[in-house]
Amino acid sequence: MYAGTLDTVPTPFYLYDTKLLADTLDELRREACTSEPLHIHYAVKANANPVILRQIAAAGFGADCVSGGEIRAALDAGFPAAGIVFAGVGKADWEIRLALESNIAAFNVESREEMAVIEELAAAMGRTARVCLRINPNVGAHTHANITTGLAENKFGIDMADMLPTIQQAQASPHLSFEGLHFHIGSQIEEMDDFCALARKVNELLSTLAASGIMPRIVNVGGGLGINYCHPHGTQLVPRFRDYFDVYRHELRLKPGQEFHCELGRAIVAQMGSLITRVLYVKHGRHKRFAIVDAGMTELIRPALYDAHHCIETMSIEGRSIHFGNEGATETYDIVGPICESSDVFARDRAMPPLCRGQLLAIRSAGAYGEAMASTYNCRPLPKAYTMKELLSAAHANA
Ligand SMILES: Cc1ncc(COP(=O)(O)O)c(C=O)c1O
């Protein structure tokens, strides 16, 4: 039975399970509160919906921002400035000034050229900017090429050979305070060996610095922990944060006084979000059957951009709960959007129960890099978002 009571709720929209987010944040906090506390800055770029940001801020985490807009969104949501870090290869002057005025924890500086501008603007404002240097560790990650960031050929970070002179330059400036090192090798990383490789590279760099009498206070390893896009069910829903932190606990050799920081995004929010869409038409092509839905790459660009896989399930409302499932999946469909681009495809040859016009589908694990990357291409409106509670109220008001 499909969700008749949602007949008048316009699709597509994002649906957020804030209870799952709460469980995920609880688990993260449990893992982070060890004798040596771990400092976690949520990567705002993954999902900047104000409801989601407020929940993460209220849980006591910091924020990792990559634009002035994200700094404003983080402050508005209640993240303390002292927990905000600011990365990005192309920080504009107004964004640097905003970060200085807001007195954020640190800039993650991506080049010597950028550091010179931060110094100049801090001097003009009579401030001292706290800086960490983002170092490009030339460590690969087993993930899609478009989300690999830690190789020498990528645009991110300062070359390792320039690390020492850049730190010395920061230390010599009255307007800069050198706080530590920052890294980020990529996203949707499922192999813990990749994080091991980063930890070992960081140890090498720390030894090089120690030989020059430099001990960075902050060691920030960035984000990147992947999630299981194939099985957004049961015990798979809350990521195994312990395995991830254990890699660094065992591999990273920090000295007393050195702090571990990280910037998880996807692992915190991906599983709590689904993109809800309706089947507009079932079209029988010469070779294929297409389910044409009313969401497209404008609402969720990951499949078009990264060939990303998302589990897609039918959705219905049963009493006071929402049901996702594909019982009786006997037919195959290409599930495609309405956008005038051949890449606007969510899934090819996907086994589904027989679909018809009006059927609601949930594109699962869409809480990260979904709504945040939505666009108005084809003059489409940006998607709305509901929490489960809000949707159930809307459904029952319509019943
Ligand atoms: C500097 C930085 N930190 C953290 C993240 C978050 O990565 P993830 O969502 O994979 O945890 C990103 C993502 O691109 C990033 O660029």
Q: What is d(CA 362, CA 374) in angstroms, rounded to the nearest whole number?
A: 17
265 C-beta closer than 6 A to ligand 1: yes
Longest dimension (CA), the chain: 71
Question: In one letter, which amino acid is 196?
Answer: C
45 CA to middle of ligand 1, Å?
8
What does the pLDDT look like over 198-232, one tens digit per residue?
999 999 999 999 999 999 999 999 999 999 999 99
Quick: pLDDT tens for 310-336. 999 999 988 778 999 999 889 999 999
In a domain, 247, yes or no: yes
| Interval 139-147 mean pLDDT | 69
Contact 128, 106 (CB under 8 A): no
The 10s digit of each residue's pLDDT in 254-264 is: 999 999 999 99
As a whole-number percent, the residues of the chain with pLDDT over 70 amount to 95
Does residue 319 lie within any of the structural domains?
A: yes
DSSP per position, 204-237 = HHHHHHHHTT---SEEE----B---SS--SGGGS
Residue to probe by mutation, ligand 1, list 108, 187, 195, 365, most atoms within 8 Å of CB: 187
- The pair of three-digit structure tokens given for residue 311, joined into one six-digit string: 């589990």
236 lies in the same domain as 337: no
72 in any annotated domain:
no
Q: Quick one: 230 and 304 in the same domain? A: no
In a domain, 33, yes or no: no
Q: What is the mean pLDDT of the chain?
A: 94
Residues 319, 281, single domain; the answer is yes
Q: What is the pTM of this model?
A: 0.95
Q: Calculate mean pLDDT across residues 226-253.
A: 93
What average pLDDT does range 303-312 have in this prediction? 96
Of the two residues 6 and 264, the one the predictor is more confident about is: 264
Which residue, of 264, 294, 319, is where some domain finishes? 264
From ligand 1's centre to the CA of 264, what distance in Å?
Answer: 6
Confidence tier at 399 by pLDDT (50, 70, 90): low
Of 248, 264, 280, the position where a domain reaches its end is: 264
CA of 185 to the centre of ligand 1 (A): 9
Instruction: Taking residues 61-88, report their average pLDDT.
Output: 98
- How confident is the model over 53-64, as pLDDT tens digits? 999 999 999 999
pLDDT score recorded for residue 311: 98
Tell me the pLDDT band of 138, cut-offs 50, 70 and 90.
confident
The verdict on 232 and 336 lying in the same domain is no
In a domain, 197, yes or no: yes
Are residues 117 and 211 both part of a single domain?
yes
- CATH classification at residue 129: 3.20.20.10
Query: Which tokens is 171 given?
Result: 């230390």
Round to the nearest angstrom and report the end-to-end CA distance of the chain.
15
Report how far residue 139's alpha carbon sits from residue 143's, in angstroms, rounded to the nearest whole number.
Answer: 12
The response to whether residue 87 sits with its C-beta less than 6 Å from ligand 1 reads: yes
Residue 43 domain-assigned (yes or no) = no
Q: Are 253 and 278 in the same domain?
A: no
Last residue of a domain, one of 224, 241, 264: 264
Q: In which residue are the tokens 């050929």 written?
A: 153
Residues 318 and 353 in one domain: yes
Query: 344 lies in a domain?
Result: yes
Phi-psi region of 309 (alpha: psi -120 to 50; beta: other; left: phi over 0): beta
* Same domain as 200, residue 313: no
Residue 339 has pLDDT above 70, yes or no: yes
Instruction: Give the list of residues 6+ apart from residue 332 with CB closer than 8 angstroms, or none.
Output: 289, 349, 350, 351, 352
- Give the orientation angle of helix 192-211 with respect to helix 241-251, to 10 degrees: 30
Asked if the model's pLDDT at residue 289 lies above 90, the reply is yes
β-pairing verdict for 360-363 and 312-318: antiparallel
Pairing verdict, β 176-182 and 259-262:
unpaired
**With 60 as the cut, is the pLDDT of residue 1 above it?**
no
Helix (H, G, I), strand (E, B) or coil at 179: strand
Asked, for residue 28, whether it belongs to a domain, the answer is no
| Confidence check: pLDDT of 148 > 70 | no
Whether residue 347 sits in one domain with residue 280: yes
Pocket test for ligand 1, best of 45, 189, 369 (most atoms within 8 A of CB): 45
- Phi-psi region for residue 138, left (φ > 0), alpha (ψ -120 to 50) or beta? left
CB-CB neighbours of 292 under 10 Å: 18
The mean pLDDT value for 99-127 works out to: 97
Reported confidence tier of residue 365, pLDDT bands at 50, 70, 90: very high
157 lines ligand 1 (CB under 6 A): no
Is 222 near ligand 1, meaning CB less than 6 Å away?
A: yes
Range of the domain at 291: 4-14+271-398
- CATH, residue 373: 2.40.37.10
Q: Do 253 and 204 share a structural domain?
A: yes
User: Is there a single domain that holds both residue 225 and residue 335?
Assistant: no
Q: Are 275 and 144 part of one and the same domain?
A: no
Q: How far apart are alpha carbons 264 and 201 in whole angstroms?
A: 20
Mean pLDDT of 234-258: 92
Q: 398 pLDDT band (50/70/90 cuts)?
A: low
- Name the least confident of 68-77, 317-326, 357-366: 317-326
Dihedral of the alpha carbons of 105, 30, 56, 268, in degrees to the nearest 10? 100
Number of domains in the chain: 2
